[in-house]
Amino acid sequence: MKTNSAQLNTNEAVQEESEIRINDTEVEKACELLYRIVDNIETVIIGKRSVVELVVLALISGGHVLIEDVPGVGKTSLVSALAKSISCDFKRIQFTPDIMPSDVTGFSIYNQKTGEFEFRPGAIMSNIVLADEINRASAKTQSSLLEAMEEQQVTVDSHTYILKQPFMVLATQNPLESFGTYPLPEAQIDRFLIKVSIGYPSSDDEMKVIAMERNIKEYLQPTATGEDVLFLKKAAERVYVSPMIVKYIIDIITATRNNPDILLGSSPRGGIALYRLCCAYALYKGRNYVIPDDVKYLVPYTLCHRLILSHEAKTNKKTAEQIIASILDSILVPMVRE
């Protein structure tokens, strides 16, 4: 009886949510705004539209992005173009072994004139924060980002400071370097909503990149504001998700915890991240509801970096992407009416 009661309460909650579902006019406005932002960024990041889309969708999902790729493919340019496109404050932190947590969060300094301590904000006090080469900083400095990424606040000398909104951390790291680096702990990795890789451009796209005007990033004009981003975030929260879709997400999350090739499966935070990203993706596609294809497309980006593979899986040279693909093939896809 307890289970039936819980299911009844869940159905009632979903029904109430559907009653405040975003209408078609708002969907059209949000979709047009999203396309405008993506198109603007793509003038700088050529031929990588899918990556640009995912980064923008992560922003309106209220999440953070880990960009792992080799040097010179445009990781920093992508973040800079995003900040300029939405007309928000942008700060870059170049992580090195000697950088201190106070450089990130800020610190209090004594003012001899007033006789009081004054707070000097750190680089985290911004809308868009680029943590460049995050794995080059020590574990102590990396941990200074944890509170900001999860609670959207920073605590310094027992005082809590609320961060600006919208707020997003985009971290970069080189997967090939190991000398002088500190691997990100699981708690840090789990706080990134998605992990993406830009990759090398095609031959035609690389010709455009080489011939591109050098100062084109400086001339990039904003196509949206911080208020527009907050509107998009609220709009995404009102996208309808069927109980069958929610169960589909939970089945995928549960399967990662029971798979013999996976030593550590996805956390509940991974399921929440997938849910929110699906809502944002549906909005980008001009819908006010989520379909199973949205989930299947976004699962690799939201879950692969959260998994720790078993020793046998690594020995057999299996990848997280391959394991996730096999999990998706083994789970029944729900039939949801539009």
Q: Specify whether 164 is located in the same domain as 301.
A: no
Among 173, 202, 236, the domain boundary falls at: 236
Mean pLDDT: which of 66-70, 119-123, 134-138 is highest? 66-70
* Cα 297 to chain centroid, rounded: 15
Q: Specify whether 138 is located in the same domain as 206.
A: yes
Identify whether 28 is part of a domain.
no
Q: Specify whether 49 is located in the same domain as 188.
A: yes
Q: What is the pLDDT of residue 48?
A: 94
Instruction: Give, for 76, the enclosing helix (H) or strand (E).
Output: helix 75-85
Here the CATH number for the domain that contains residue 165 is 3.40.50.300
Identify whether 56 is part of a domain.
yes
Provide the percentage of residues in the chain whose pLDDT is more than 70: 91
Alpha-carbon distance of 105 to 93, in angstroms, equals 11
**How many other CB atoms are there within 10 angstroms of residue 322's CB atom?**
14
CA geometry: angle at 65 spanning 62 and 70, to 5°? 170
**Tokens representing 316?**
């057999």
Q: What is the pLDDT of residue 178?
A: 67
**Tokens representing 55?**
């980064």
User: Is residue 5 scored above 90 in pLDDT?
Assistant: no
Q: What is the pLDDT of residue 3?
A: 39
Q: Specify whether 84 is located in the same domain as 220.
A: yes
Question: 197 or 12: whose pLDDT is higher?
Answer: 197
Cα distances (Å, whole numbers) of residue 156 to 89, 117, 118: 21, 12, 11
Q: What is residue 283's three-state secondary structure?
A: helix
**Helices 243-258 and 320-330, packing angle to 10 deg:** 130
Q: What is the pLDDT of residue 338?
A: 58
For strands 262-264 and 308-309, give the pairing. Answer: antiparallel
Q: Specify whether 308 is located in the same domain as 199.
A: no
What pLDDT digit, counting tens, does each position of 77-116 carry?
999 999 999 988 999 999 988 889 988 998 888 888 888 8
Q: Specify whether 116 is located in the same domain as 227.
A: yes
> Residue 6's pLDDT band (boundaries 50, 70, 90)?
very low
Q: With contact defined as beta carbons under 8 Å apart, do 58 and 305 qualify?
A: no
Q: Specify whether 161 is located in the same domain as 279.
A: no
For strands 106-111 and 116-121, give the pairing. Answer: antiparallel
- Rounded to the nearest integer, the mean pLDDT of the chain is 88
Q: Specify whether 288 is located in the same domain as 324.
A: yes
What pLDDT digit, counting tens, does each position of 16-61 carry?
444 478 888 999 999 999 999 999 999 999 999 999 999 999 999 9
φ, ψ dihedrals at 202, nearest 5°: -70, 170
- The backbone region for 22, taken as left when phi is positive above 0, alpha when psi lies in -120 to 50, beta otherwise, is beta
Total number of domains constituting the chain? 2
pTM over 0.85: yes
Among 184, 201, 236, the domain boundary falls at: 236
Q: Specify whether 38 is located in the same domain as 153.
A: yes
> Residue 337's pLDDT band (boundaries 50, 70, 90)?
low
Identify whether 74 is part of a domain.
yes
Distant-in-sequence, close-in-space partners of 233: CB < 8 Å, separation ≥ 6: 60, 61, 62, 166
Q: Specify whether 90 is located in the same domain as 230.
A: yes
Q: With contact defined as beta carbons under 8 Å apart, do 83 and 127 qualify?
A: yes
Q: What is the pLDDT of residue 285?
A: 96
Among 236, 264, 279, the domain boundary falls at: 236
Q: Specify whether 1 is located in the same domain as 135.
A: no
Q: With contact defined as beta carbons under 8 Å apart, do 198 and 59 qualify?
A: no
Identify whether 207 is part of a domain.
yes
User: Is residue 8 scored above 60 in pLDDT?
Assistant: no
> Residue 4's pLDDT band (boundaries 50, 70, 90)?
very low
Q: With contact defined as beta carbons under 8 Å apart, do 26 and 235 qualify?
A: yes
Distant-in-sequence, close-in-space partners of 52: CB < 8 Å, separation ≥ 6: 38, 41, 42, 45, 78
Identify whether 323 is part of a domain.
yes
Identify whether 27 is part of a domain.
no
Average pLDDT over residues 158-174: 91
Q: What is the pLDDT of residue 22?
A: 85
Helices (H), the chain: 2-19, 24-42, 49-60, 75-85, 101-105, 139-142, 146-151, 186-189, 203-211, 226-237, 243-258, 268-284, 292-303, 311-315, 320-330
What pLDDT digit, counting tens, does each position of 176-231 carry?
776 767 888 888 899 999 999 999 999 998 998 888 767 677 778 899 999 999 99
**Which residue's entry shows tokens 């990203």?**
277
Alpha-carbon distance of 76 to 72, in angstroms, equals 9
User: Is residue 12 scored above 60 in pLDDT?
Assistant: no
Q: Specify whether 190 is located in the same domain as 52.
A: yes
What is the span of the domain harbouring residue 260? Answer: 1-22+238-338
